[in-house]
Amino acid sequence: MANVKKRILVVSSTNMDFVMNMHTLPSAGQTLVESGSYSFVPGGKGANSAVTVQRLGGDCVFCARLGNDANGAILKNIYEKEGIDTRFISFDKKRPTGLGAVMVEDNGTNRIVVYPGANLALSRDDIDNAMTSYPDALLLQLEINEEAVIYAAECAAKAGIPIFIDAGPANRYFPLDRLPPLEVFSPNETETEIFTGISPNSPDNCLRAAIALSKIVNAHYYVLKLGGRGAYVYDGLYYHCIPPYDVKATDTTAAGDAFTAALTLEYLRSGDIERATKFGNVVGAITVSRAGAYTSLPSAGEVEEFMRLKGIRL
């Protein structure tokens, strides 16, 4: 049984990303003629996580909603080629496939505008059907409608399935108190500040923010993603600072999605949150060193090679 793949149900978003590489952002009213490249690539926080789980050796079941359009057909075909279980991806006749406009500057900083489209139509029936896959864990993000997030979490809680939430994109009005007990709640720096009013820009503020989060959402672990400063893990009593792995940042798009997916998978395998967070940091580091979202997500073999070259042991 040790070799049985962990099955992770991702109930979340899928988009086609329009990625614009640029030297600088235009000012209001300004038109720039750019020498950088642009491309259309698979994206969406849920899809990024689903692909990561599958590439790292997990068994991913993806529950999402696409538009009944060319982008939707292209995306579903891509997920099938990745080996993801797509039985619970449905097509919406009224809304288009979600679109993400991603602006990437030379230093790797990104700015993203998302048009959710069909993502907002994900329904209870979609979720009920997906739960028949009997997953080992449920992974959620906040890029779908809040009622779908809450309902999926409630279904998992009733079935005794651990729940992992990548808390982005953050909405300060999201009713976190309606969520059942979670295994892991993981916001990044910006999301942490939106939910708590505290920027986790120092060890003291990380602790203050984690304590504040513990008062508004019930989780076993709070894992703050701190970008180039690594990650911070808090369990209500103790905290651990997990250092980053040094790489040159090319594009931070999808790094947080990949981190949480990797953490979820490794936590299911080992039951060790520190080990899982270190693994998440490895996968996140590889992701930021590459351009794009889907194109930057590593395979299990690439992760093993990175760890070997860096001398990393979990």
The residues pairing with 40 across neighbouring beta strands, listed in sequence order, are 18
Question: What ranges do the domains of the chain cover?
Answer: 7-24+37-302
The residue with tokens 């999402």 is 64
The whole-number pLDDT of residue 250 equals: 86
**This prediction's pTM:** 0.92
The whole-number pLDDT of residue 1 equals: 40
The residues near 106 (Cβ < 8 Å, ≥ 6 apart) are 22, 23
The residue with tokens 């790489």 is 247
Q: What is the pLDDT of residues 163-210, one digit of tens each?
A: 999 999 999 999 999 999 999 999 999 999 999 999 999 999 999 999
- Regions of the chain short of the pLDDT cut 70: 1-3
The whole-number pLDDT of residue 106 equals: 84
User: 7-24+37-302 is classed in which CATH architecture?
Assistant: 3-Layer(aba) Sandwich (3.40)
| Residue (of 242, 204, 237) closest to 223 by Cα position | 242
The pair of structure tokens assigned to 72 is 């939707």
The whole-number pLDDT of residue 119 equals: 96
The whole-number pLDDT of residue 265 equals: 98
Side by side, the strands of the sheet bearing 163-166 are 89-92, 59-67, 7-11, 137-141, 163-166, 182-186, 219-225, 231-234, 239-242
The whole-number pLDDT of residue 296 equals: 93
The pair of structure tokens assigned to 171 is 């909405």
- Contact between 281 and 230 (Cβ < 8 Å): yes
The whole-number pLDDT of residue 3 equals: 67
